[in-house]
Structure 1
């Protein structure tokens, strides 16, 4: 398939996990991509995996307005105008009520919420009419203890998708979100997990997911690309990619 031949896209948080899977899928189908990450080691590892002149990887901190404005310049220089923007970056820290610190709260909201909003604000002028923006949120209808700050930050992003979709109707830019459940990634989306924690996290996720397994980063990428290229009559929607987790079904 070459759904994205000749198309140009930006993927934030695109150096590992779900973001990297989105980048790989876009490249495989012919797109040219600017991808960002904060960690230089992961950027270099991703660059080695991709090794193509149609992938441009840059360090950019989503919590920094200065970096986001610089990203806009980079995108304009490398790609000119773009067709798709995937706002995928995020961080989760598991802390119950009395453990949450101001620093942790600010870090999660700064990256997940402020970073998502201002990334769209800065890059929207570069998006072609009839383009698409896809946010990564989370399957938030069922919640585990310790995720108050993270869940709140992602609920805000869900709201952004709906409001920005309304604001961009005149330009026919569709704005949607993918909402992953338990997805197998190197970090499982949670900062600071030990290998033992990761194994327990995977076990719990398999037990509570109706399909009795974790999803893959490639499955999330497939949903994100569907919203970008094929869901041409869909906007302001959130697509669960969670094996039935948030829907509360059971067998």
Structure 2
């Protein structure tokens, strides 16, 4: 399929994990792809993997000024967008009694405040018929211990999909959420645990998934492409959960 031929898409956090897998699939379906990320080295590596028709921009979603800078850079190059996958985010877990203001602020600055103002800044660059897909999480639904702040930040995105769709529909823009369950991505390596703790956690989580396995970035990417293509044109303000049945069965 070539659902994105002659279209330009943006993937925030497109230099690893689900973001990178999605950017690669967009390119395979004909899109010009813009990716953002905080680390220039991994951006350069990702650009090589995605292909020649790729623009890689260093950008930190946790910095409120970065949203306007990103929009300005794209506008200067005459770039209009047909789809945005707002994938960038952080995950920090801690028991409720151990959560401090710094963890709270860092999580909400990136996952909520940064996400909102990125959408706000990029809205003037959206073509009619564009789609925005937010990367949510089943943590917003399952009450997992130690995930209070992260889960709340993802619940905010689910709310954004509804309210922002209502505001942006007159512009022909849809907003939806794809909420992954456990997926094998580099994010798990950044949880502050050692190898033994990570393995123990992964085994425990896998036992809770009816399919008895983690999802893959490619599987989530296929879901994102569907939600940002004309194939999902009648889906608005909705959350699509892709979790191997973990939150449903």
The TM-score with structure 1 as length reference comes to 0.94
Shift of 1:197: 2.7
Tell me if structure 2 keeps the 8 A contact 1:14–1:88. yes
Aligned to 1:241: 242
CA distance, structure 2, for counterparts of residue 14 and residue 205 of structure 1: 26
Q: Give CA-to-partner distance per residue, 1:49-98, whole Å, 9 cap, x none.
A: 23x33111111010112111111012223452110011111111110011
Partners of 2:24 and 2:49 within 8 A in 1 = no
State how 1:1-251 maps to structure 2 within 5 Å. Answer: 1-50=1-50, 52-78=51-77, 80-139=79-138, 140-188=140-188, 190-229=190-229, 230-247=231-248, 249=249
Q: How much does 1:189 deviate?
A: 7.5
What value does the CA root-mean-square deviation take over the aligned residues?
A: 1.4
Aligned-partner SS, 1:168: helix
How many residues are aligned here? 247
Q: CA deviation at 1:192?
A: 2.5
Structure 2's unaligned 5+ residue stretches are none
Q: Distance in 2 between matches of 1:223 and 1:77?
A: 31
Question: In 2, distance between residues paired with 1:79 and 1:243?
Answer: 41
> Per the alignment, in what secondary structure is the counterpart of residue 131 of structure 1?
strand
- Find the aligned partners of 1:39 and 1:80 in 2 and give their Cα distance: 23
Deviation at 1:42, TM superposition (A): 2.1
- Which residues of structure 1 form unaligned runs of 5+? none
Distance 1:30 1:193 in 2: 39
Determine the C-alpha separation between the residues in 1 that align with 2:193 and 2:32: 33
Alpha-carbon separation, structure 1, partners of 2:239 and 2:206: 23
Task: Summarize the Cα distance change of 1:27–1:79 in structure 2 as closer, same or farther, 3 Å threshold.
Answer: farther
Moved more, 234-243 or 67-76: 67-76
Distance 1:56 1:201 in 2: 36
Per the TM alignment, residue 190 of structure 1 is displaced from its structure 2 partner at its CA by 4.8
Query: Equivalents in 2 of 1:166, 1:62: separation in Å?
Result: 24
User: Partners of 1:215 and 1:5 in 2: how far apart?
Assistant: 28
Does structure 2 retain, via aligned residues, the 8 Å contact 1:91–1:189? no
SS at match of 2:210: coil
